[in-house]
């Protein structure tokens, strides 16, 4: 934890960090694509504030004092403000993005409401590592704090990891779970990755650019400017970056400015109590997701908001697998679990041995309907399972009270293809693509960017905002 600048000084200095504003396209699903919105026409009432520079130097202090400081604030927004440590930028793009947010209070309300579940944990982890606390706002840019967000580049979760980078940072991805979406695992991986990038470049703005564009791309841009005798700071490299990366740090700066003084932008932030929102609960055996939510007295949607990594109707895994619950609901969970007296899971696995095992045949064998099997395993209509696939099926008496073995969950694959006519082709005669639930790990040099290396336009990843 670092020495805090007095809060009055911080607020006074940060009142003026926004440049003249112009509406800028933004990559959210409730708005038109970036390419369809003008980036040059000024808004009817731009927000204009004078610019002030604020020191971004952080100074180490003993852990006990750091802990005392953390809990002195009444809400988490105050902790974030007091830990700002990335040098500020003040340019036209910052103003554009600040105006975009300020003119969409509904979007801000929706995003900050989601963020309120996760911010205490993220800020606490940043403070433990001595990292700038405005990094807690990065999911605002990445996913609108939606852990179910999935980009067009297959980047998933609150921190938007692509599959390869997720594996590089030990985020497990199998048929039953995707830790890229998990709150604890993905936050730990994202902060580890960001610190590694900072250690590599010695500059937080370049580290953020590398998080979005890939460190190899940033390194090449630095070498190009060096060869021409030009500076290598973020703004000097911006012209070499694709539009998404060029806008990335200004977007974060815009959010920093708004969080520093929301009233200046006509916005209200929800109060986020400076105390843990959730706690981890041990899972001692397989448990249906719906039963877990019922025992915790939560809606399934609220349960999934804290446990988005679980992809199937049953939560498998060994004793190290935990579920997250609001503190008061964790107490209810334990009380209700002690009185449950029934099976916690109604699912088991079955390995398809031949093409003769159609979904209809399996449904009859396991006393259910084809639609239940398709839904539980995300099997498209008019498709058939290939031999070797491992799927979820309802438990019957012969498999009662037997948990799914960890090695089965870890190695389960599922492949399917379109139902074929007698000719061996689809009904329309087309050769259809196949889907395999298990992606083989391939060697990677460093990590993979989420912006195509040849990106030259402002076309950005679209994030889900459900």
DSSP string, 71-101: HHSSBHHHHHHHT--SPP--SHHHHHHHHHH
Q: What percentage of the chain has pLDDT greater than the value 90?
A: 64
**What is the C-alpha to C-alpha distance for residues 90 and 17, in angstroms, rounded to an integer?**
7
Find out whether 259 and 267 touch, Cβ atoms under 8 Å.
Answer: no
Other beta carbons less than 10 A from residue 91's beta carbon: 14
Reply yes or no on whether the pLDDT at 123 is more than 70.
Answer: yes
Confidence of residue 69 (pLDDT cuts 50, 70, 90): low
Reply yes or no on whether the pLDDT at 44 is more than 90.
Answer: no
Q: What pLDDT is attached to residue 71?
A: 54
* Residue appearing with tokens 């003993």: 62
The set of catalytic residues is 142
Please state which of the ranges 287-291, 336-340, 425-429 shows the lowest mean pLDDT: 425-429
Question: Mean of the pLDDT values across residues 13-22?
Answer: 36
Pairing of strands 383-385, 415-418: antiparallel
Q: What pLDDT is attached to residue 383?
A: 85
Residues 319-347 pLDDT 10s = 789 999 999 999 999 999 999 999 999 99
DSSP string, 343-364: -S--EEEEE--STT--HHHHHH
Q: Which residues have C-beta within 8 Å of that of residue 65, sequence separation ≥ 6?
A: 1
Confidence of residue 417 (pLDDT cuts 50, 70, 90): confident
Q: What pLDDT is attached to residue 46?
A: 34
Please state which of the ranges 14-18, 227-231, 449-453 shows the lowest mean pLDDT: 14-18
Question: Mean of the pLDDT values across residues 262-282?
Answer: 96
Question: Mean of the pLDDT values across residues 222-250?
Answer: 98
Higher pLDDT among residues 52 and 85, named by residue: 85
Of the candidates 130, 119, 108, 110, the one whose C-alpha atom is nearest the C-alpha of residue 77 is: 119
Reply yes or no on whether the pLDDT at 292 is more than 60.
Answer: yes
Q: What pLDDT is attached to residue 415?
A: 85
Residues 360-410 pLDDT 10s = 999 999 999 999 999 999 998 888 888 889 999 999 875 566 889 888 888
Question: Mean of the pLDDT values across residues 7-18?
Answer: 40
Please state which of the ranges 111-115, 127-131, 173-177 shows the lowest mean pLDDT: 173-177
- Average model confidence (pLDDT) for the chain? 81
Q: Report helix, strand or coil for 225.
A: helix
Strands annotated E in 223-370: 278-282, 287-288, 314-315, 322-326, 347-351
| Architecture (CATH level 2) of domain 7-265 | Orthogonal Bundle (1.10)
Residue ranges, CATH 1.10.530.10, the chain: 7-265
Question: Mean of the pLDDT values across residues 442-462?
Answer: 46
Find out whether 149 and 464 touch, Cβ atoms under 8 Å.
Answer: yes
Question: Mean of the pLDDT values across residues 274-300?
Answer: 96
Q: What pLDDT is attached to residue 451?
A: 61
Q: What pLDDT is attached to residue 457?
A: 41
Question: Mean of the pLDDT values across residues 18-30?
Answer: 35
Phi, psi of 2 (to 5 degrees): -120, 165
């Amino acid at each position: 934890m670092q020495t805090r600048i007095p809060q009055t000084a911080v607020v006074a200095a940060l009142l003026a960090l926004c440049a003249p504003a112009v509406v800028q396209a933004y990559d959210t699903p409730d708005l038109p694509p970036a390419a369809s919105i003008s980036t040059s026409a000024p808004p009817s009432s731009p927000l204009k504030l004078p610019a002030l520079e604020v020191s971004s130097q952080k100074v180490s202090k003993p852990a006990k004092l750091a802990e005392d400081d953390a809990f002195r604030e009444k809400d988490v927004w105050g902790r974030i403000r007091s830990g700002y440590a990335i040098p500020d930028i003040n340019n036209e793009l910052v103003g554009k993005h600040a105006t975009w947010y300020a003119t969409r209070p509904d979007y801000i309300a929706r995003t900050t409401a989601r963020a309120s579940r996760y911010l205490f944990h993220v800020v606490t982890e940043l403070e433990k590592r001595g990292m700038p606390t405005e990094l807690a706002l990065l999911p605002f840019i990445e996913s609108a704090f939606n852990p179910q967000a999935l980009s067009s580049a297959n980047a998933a979760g609150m921190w938007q990891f692509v599959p390869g980078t997720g594996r590089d940072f030990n985020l497990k991805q199998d048929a039953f779970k995707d830790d890229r979406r998990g709150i604890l695992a993905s936050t730990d991986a994202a902060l580890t990755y960001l610190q590694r990038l900072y250690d590599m470049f010695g500059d937080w703005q370049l580290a953020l650019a590398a998080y979005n564009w890939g460190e190899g791309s940033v390194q090449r841009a630095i070498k190009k400017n060096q060869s021409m005798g030009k500076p290598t700071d973020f703004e000097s490299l911006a012209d070499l970056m694709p539009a998404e990366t060029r806008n990335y740090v200004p977007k974060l700066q815009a959010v920093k400015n708004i969080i520093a003084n929301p009233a200046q932008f006509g916005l209200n932030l929800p109060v986020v109590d400076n105390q843990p929102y959730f706690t981890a609960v041990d899972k001692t055996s397989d448990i249906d997701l719906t039963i877990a939510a019922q025992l915790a007295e939560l809606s399934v949607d609220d349960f999934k908001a804290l446990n988005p990594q679980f992809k199937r109707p049953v939560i498998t895994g060994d004793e190290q697998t935990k579920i997250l619950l609001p503190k008061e609901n964790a107490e209810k969970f334990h009380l209700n679990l002690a009185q449950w007296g029934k099976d916690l899971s109604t699912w088991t696995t079955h390995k398809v041995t031949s093409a003769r095992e159609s979904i209809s045949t399996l449904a009859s064998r396991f006393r259910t309907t084809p639609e239940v099997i398709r839904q539980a395993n995300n099997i498209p209509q008019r498709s058939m399972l290939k031999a070797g696939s491992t799927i979820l099926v309802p438990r019957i008496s012969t498999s009662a009270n037997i948990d799914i073995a960890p090695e089965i969950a870890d190695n389960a694959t599922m492949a399917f293809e379109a139902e074929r006519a007698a000719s061996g082709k689809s009904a329309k005669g087309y050769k259809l693509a196949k889907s395999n639930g298990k992606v083989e790990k391939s060697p990677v040099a460093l990590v993979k960017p989420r912006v195509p290396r040849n990106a030259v336009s402002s076309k950005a990843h679209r994030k889900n905002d459900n």
